[in-house]
Amino acid sequence: MDIIETIKDQIANNTILLYMKGSPNAPQCGFSAKAAQAVMACGEKFAYVDILQNPEIRANLPKYANWPTFPQLWVGGELVGGSDIMTEMAADGSLQATIKEAVEKAAANKADA
């Protein structure tokens, strides 16, 4: 599987996916720390990919996503954005609403399958 297929697979198979530097419990940059905190505050389980451990993803995801920086939050297969966008959305409540809606939709789709 080539790296773009791997990225597509990760996005398709994880309702909430955070591409970040480090892990949620041990972020390796301030932006990734803020992003992980914002997502964790929503109270839903989420997947993450440490791009420092995955140099091919680090090199190719910005081209695939048309988004140059990390972290990147993907919810329900759609790019939400980076750290600043996540922080703003968390402050106004829209991040929680977006994540809750995606989790409910994924659960409904799983129930229908």
Task: Identify the CATH class of 3-106.
Answer: alpha beta
- Write out the chain's pLDDT in tens, 113 residues: 799 999 999 999 999 999 999 999 999 999 999 999 999 999 999 999 999 999 999 999 999 999 999 999 999 999 999 999 999 999 999 999 999 999 999 999 888 86
The residues spanned by each domain of the chain are: 3-106
Helices (H), 1-113: 3-13, 30-40, 55-65, 83-92, 94-112
Q: Pairing between strand 26-27 and 22-23?
A: antiparallel
Cβ contacts of 81 within 8 Å, gap of 6 or more? 67, 72, 73, 89
Structure tokens at 37: 């905190």
pTM for the model: 0.95
**What is the rounded end-to-end Cα distance, in angstroms, of the chain?**
26
Residue 83 counted as an annotated binding residue: yes
Residue 112 counted as an annotated binding residue: no
Residue 9 counted as an annotated binding residue: no
Residue 29 counted as an annotated binding residue: yes
Residue 70 counted as an annotated binding residue: yes
